[in-house]
Amino acid sequence: MNWLLSLNPWLVLIVAGMFEIMWASGVKYVGVQRPLISLGVAVALAASMVGLWAATQRLPVGTAYAVWTGIGAVGAAVVGIVIYQEPATAIRAVCILLIVCGIVGLKLFSGAGA
């Protein structure tokens, strides 16, 4: 795992967030009747957690966790709108934008230079 720790922690955190989106978006299809989907969701969950762990080795844990969950929340909301035809209301878009602003703010003001 040393190779993972040698990477830019923000890049690792973003990739972990992408895996967060994958498992969160796929979890509604987990079940005995869908073993490959269930396995994919489990792998994405594990990859997401490992990435979060690696990022917290060099970033403040509160910042890393908030960014990771923010990426997952925004991504899952967008997947819900685009793929699952969930409502795309103006207020929902504003709320998603606020989460994105929070993620960017945490990156800019985290005090972690990497």
Quick: pLDDT tens for 59-108. 999 999 999 999 999 999 999 999 999 999 999 999 999 999 999 998 88
Answer yes or no: are the C-beta atoms of 23 and 48 closer than 8 Å.
yes
23 vs 89: CA distance, rounded Å: 24
38 vs 71: CA distance, rounded Å: 22
Share of the chain above pLDDT 70, in %: 97
**pLDDT for residue 112 is more than 70:** no
Which ranges of 57-89 would DSSP assign to H, the alpha helix?
61-82
Answer yes or no: are the C-beta atoms of 8 and 64 closer than 8 Å.
no
Considering the entire predicted model, what is its pTM? 0.88
Contacts for 76 with CB less than 8 Å, ≥ 6 apart: 20, 21, 24, 25
Per-residue pLDDT at 107? 85
